[in-house]
Amino acid sequence: MSTAPPATPAGPFTPPTNVRPTTNPPDTWECSLQLTNNPRAVRIVRHSVRIALLTYDVCQSAVETAELLTSELVGNAVKHADSPIYVRARARDGIVRVSVWDSHPELPEPLPLTTTDPFGRGLYLVHHLSHNWGRYSLDSDPSGKVTWFELTT
């Protein structure tokens, strides 16, 4: 018997129990994941976001961008937090929004771009490839932060 994950600051994260392609997907939908803090989480979230977005007939270019940006945010969470990571993807009115929650209290800031550093480009990509993005701290229990981005579909 499985139990639902706890409510998080970004809202209750309940895994979808019956995600199947439909001929007429709803205009508004949501799916959530709870991931262990493990480097494999990036691969899992890429696949999960791809399947969810394709199931709801999101265009291929938006699916690919969402995969990339979600993996960047989850990769940051794996690197900097020591907690499970919650990911929520939802669509409404032609906008897909992906939010990533982790327990690390510091808000991420884009690093200056260099040609020599092998890291530090993730938030630059999020900023330039998304329609909108942001981050906010959570002072409640559980604490941490949410980093999110939006894409038009």
Q: Where do the structural domains in the chain lie, given as residue ranges?
A: 25-152
| Fold type of domain 25-152 | Heat Shock Protein 90 (3.30.565)
Q: Is the pTM of this model over 0.85?
A: no
Q: Which one of 37-51, 113-127, 133-147 scores highest in mean pLDDT?
A: 37-51
Neighbour order of strands in the sheet with 29-35: 29-35, 85-92, 95-102, 144-152, 132-138
Tokens 């205009």 belong to residue: 27
**153: confidence class by pLDDT, cuts 50, 70, 90:** confident
Q: What tokens does 35 get?
A: 């991931």
What phi and psi, each to the nearest 5 degrees, are found at residue 9?
-60, -30
Please report where in the chains the tokens 């938006």 appear, as a residue. Answer: 62
